[in-house]
């Protein structure tokens, strides 16, 4: 995205079951490229992950709904001097798509994105990974926290054991089941025929919880011919793409896509 002045602002949008610390590497990378970067925390998730885990299962995080988290970003963007770029991972990718619906941003990148309402694929690893987060037979007043075994299967598959443990310790946080169920509500609806700012879907070839097939299906639903909607798949990336050894190359790929926009 070439401009005559300084590069635009980037707002990084965090996904579920982690804290905004997941963006530390990417934030540093894009700041080095001249961007002004922010990674706002979700409500009740400002503390380090280890502290948040100590609050489980009676954490105030359980109060969060999709509308609450979306409002954090809507309000944050409203106070910026100009529309930003938004880059979201997982559930944050869904929020990217909802912000594009509001015409609130100049471009969006949805990395290994959760889908809007109505976008589905038949995939066993998706079902096995995502179903526990819904907490269908448990109280919405308590939070969901992935076990380390669930983290290994759904998020950090293929990484060395030491990295799986490091990322769990640094990032894993309780999550609101109310929020996760919000992805199945009318609040997650997208009008795929509406004009929108440029949007990139970036999928991980080894992602189990938001598999590439789901990202492709999401991409195909967008129908406005005059709007830029791109898709790219990175082989070997699990759902922990932001922290894999390849993260710098992946961030560079996103930078190049942004720079190529008119």
Q: Give, for 250, the enclosing helix (H) or strand (E).
A: helix 247-260
Contacts of 210 (CB under 8 A, 6+ apart): 90, 93, 112, 113, 114, 126, 203, 204, 239
Q: What is the pLDDT of residue 5?
A: 45
Taking the CA atoms of 197, 179, 79 and 20 in sequence, report the sign of the dihedral they define.
negative
Omega prior to 57 cis, within 30 of 0 = yes
Q: Averaged over 111-131, what is the pLDDT? A: 97
Interatomic CA distance for residues 153 and 179, integer angstroms: 22
pLDDT in tens, 128-182: 999 999 999 999 999 999 999 999 999 999 999 999 999 999 999 999 999 999 9
Q: Averaged over 36-63, what is the pLDDT? A: 98
Token reading at 56:
């489980």
Token reading at 156:
């950090």
Interatomic CA distance for residues 31 and 9, integer angstroms: 10
Residue 213 has pLDDT above 70, yes or no: yes
Interatomic CA distance for residues 240 and 190, integer angstroms: 26
56 confidence band (pLDDT: 50, 70, 90)? very high
Going by CATH, does the domain composed of 9-260 fall within 3.40.50.10490? no
CB 187 within 8 A of CB 97: no
pLDDT in tens, 5-48: 456 999 999 999 999 999 999 999 999 999 999 999 999 999 99
Query: Which of 181, 93, 172 is CA-nearest to residue 133?
Result: 181
Residue 4 has pLDDT above 50, yes or no: no
pLDDT in tens, 67-96: 999 999 999 999 999 999 999 999 999 999
Q: What is the pLDDT of residue 235?
A: 98
180-190 residues labelled b (16+ CB within 10 A) or e (exposed): bbbbeeeebeb
* Angle ∠(203,6,108) on CA atoms, nearest 5: 25
Q: Give, for 78, the enclosing helix (H) or strand (E).
A: helix 66-78
Q: What is the pLDDT of residue 6?
A: 56
Interatomic CA distance for residues 22 and 112, integer angstroms: 14
């Amino acid at each position: 995205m070439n401009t005559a002045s300084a590069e635009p602002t980037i707002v990084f949008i965090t996904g579920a079951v982690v804290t905004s610390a997941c963006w530390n590497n990417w934030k540093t990378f894009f700041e080095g490229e001249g961007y002004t970067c922010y990674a706002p925390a979700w409500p009740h998730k400002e503390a380090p992950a280890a502290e948040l885990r100590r609050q489980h299962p009676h954490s105030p995080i359980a109060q969060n709904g999709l509308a609450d988290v979306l409002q954090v970003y809507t309000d944050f963007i409203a106070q910026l001097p100009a529309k930003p770029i938004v880059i979201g991972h997982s559930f944050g990718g869904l929020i990217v798509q909802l912000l594009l619906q509001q015409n609130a941003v100049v471009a969006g990148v949805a990395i290994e994105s959760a889908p809007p309402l109505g976008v589905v694929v038949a995939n066993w690893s998706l079902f096995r990974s995502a179903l526990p987060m819904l907490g269908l037979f448990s109280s919405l007043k308590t939070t969901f926290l992935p076990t380390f075994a669930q983290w290994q299967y759904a998020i950090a598959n293929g990484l060395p054991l030491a990295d799986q443990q490091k990322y769990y310790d640094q990032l894993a946080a309780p999550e609101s089941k109310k929020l996760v169920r919000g992805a199945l509500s009318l609040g997650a609806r997208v009008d795929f025929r509406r004009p929108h700012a440029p949007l990139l879907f970036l999928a991980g070839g080894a992602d189990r919880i938001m598999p590439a097939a789901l990202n492709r299906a999401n991409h195909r639903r967008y129908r406005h011919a005059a709007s830029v909607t791109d898709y790219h798949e990175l082989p070997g990336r699990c759902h922990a793409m932001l922290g894999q050894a390849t993260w710098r190359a992946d961030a560079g790929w996103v930078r190049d896509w942004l720079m190529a926009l008119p």
